Structure 1
Amino acid sequence: MSDTHLPKRAKQLPAPLLAELPHVDVVFHAGDWVDTATLDLLESRSARLVGVYGNNDGPELRARLPEVAYAELGGLRFAVVHETGAAQGREARCAARYPDADVLVFGHSHIPWDTTAPGGLRLLNPGSPTDRRRQPHCTYMTATVSDGRLTDVTLHRLPPRTVQRRSHG
């Protein structure tokens, strides 16, 4: 997941996303948490959390999270970062910037992305589960790592009613 922006964009993470947590080995968060409560929640409910800070994250989150995180899972090398720059040229730019990664998880745009750069780097942006911006749905991704391969990459679309917006009373 990425770009949760809590509690600015929603009151809490959507129930379908929270229901996935007990069934996964690793949760990735590609930044823009905005509040430390979401970090605390994911740390307490996840077997393993790999997260980074984003451009909207303040000093408390930056003190607890790196700008870039790395993890090896099932023979694959993952890198996580919030921002990758413009969509044009992203694959080549990221392949050059993260030459030792097999998969790059990123956020910032709130736009789901799944491409493979020349040379094989897989780039994944899960969108946002709480702030769809110009997208038709709020989203997150799941994937399976098996025998050194990334399989079953699925973009999950959240029904609008699962995202609880803050009231502007």
Structure 2
Amino acid sequence: MRLLLMSDTHLPKRAKELPERLLAELPRADVVIHAGDWVDTATLDLLESRSRRFVGVYGNNDGPDLRARLPEIARAELDGLRFGVVHETGAAQGRERRCAERFPDLDVLVFGHSHIPWDTTAATGLRLLNPGSPTDRRRQPHCTYMTATVTGGVLDAVELHRLPPRT
């Protein structure tokens, strides 16, 4: 099972559209996960219409239209792994411990908000993934997204993809 992970698209505030390279990943993904801060409903419509399976949440910059359609926290079992998706997890310091305490029933937590790619594992075994942002790099050197695979209850091939600068 191939996963496509993204967050913090902020369209059309930070960019006018999703990068072509990211859009090209959609047909290859079995599941598309978005960890919030969409800003517009058109991006949600696009991802829902082009995804085989979609899991998403709203973020702190998302208004009532998006909040009416998306949960604050989403959960999904994907090929035997228990996934959670949330936008904010708080400060980087102590994140693994806090998230493991808050989500003891998960194997993987996908989050966003910081625009900073993150891939760590808590002492409890909870894997924390932040794909960064494909449209708003902020202080990061690149805009990013992630792909991963789940096979027989094992998460592997987690890859951070750097996008070329927008022209």
Category of TM-score, reference length = shorter chain: over 0.9
Matched with 2:154 is 149
**2:139 paired residue among 134, 140, 143:** 134
1:124 has 2:120 as partner? no
Alignment RMSD: 0.6
Residue ranges of structure 2 left out of the alignment (5+ in a row): 1-5
Matched with 2:82 is 77
Tell me the alpha carbon deviations over residues 107-153 of structure 1, each in whole angstroms, 9 at most, x when there is no partner.
00000000000010000000000000000000000000001100000
**1:61 paired residue among 66, 71, 77:** 66
1:4 has 2:9 as partner? yes
Moved runs in structure 1, 4+ residues, more than 3 A? Answer: none
Distance across 2 between alignment mates of 1:74 and 1:46 = 17
State the one-letter code of the partner of 1:106.
Answer: F
The 5 Å alignment of 1:75-114 reads: 75-114=80-119
Matched with 1:167 is none
Distance across 1 between alignment mates of 2:144 and 2:151 = 23
Matched with 1:15 is 20
Give secondary structure in 2 for the equivalent of 1:55.
coil
Give secondary structure in 2 for the equivalent of 1:123.
strand
Give the C-alpha shift of residue 15 in structure 1. Answer: 0.3
Distance across 2 between alignment mates of 1:66 and 1:148 = 25
TM-score w.r.t. structure 2 length?
Answer: 0.96
TM-score w.r.t. structure 1 length?
Answer: 0.95
Tell me the alpha carbon deviations over residues 27-63 of structure 1, each in whole angstroms, 9 at most, x when there is no partner.
0000000000000000000001100000000000000
Matched with 2:165 is 160
Give secondary structure in 2 for the equivalent of 1:61.
helix
Distance across 2 between alignment mates of 1:119 and 1:39 = 33
Give secondary structure in 1 for the equivalent of 2:148.
strand
Distance across 2 between alignment mates of 1:96 and 1:81 = 14
Distance across 2 between alignment mates of 1:8 and 1:121 = 33
> Number of residue pairs matched?
162
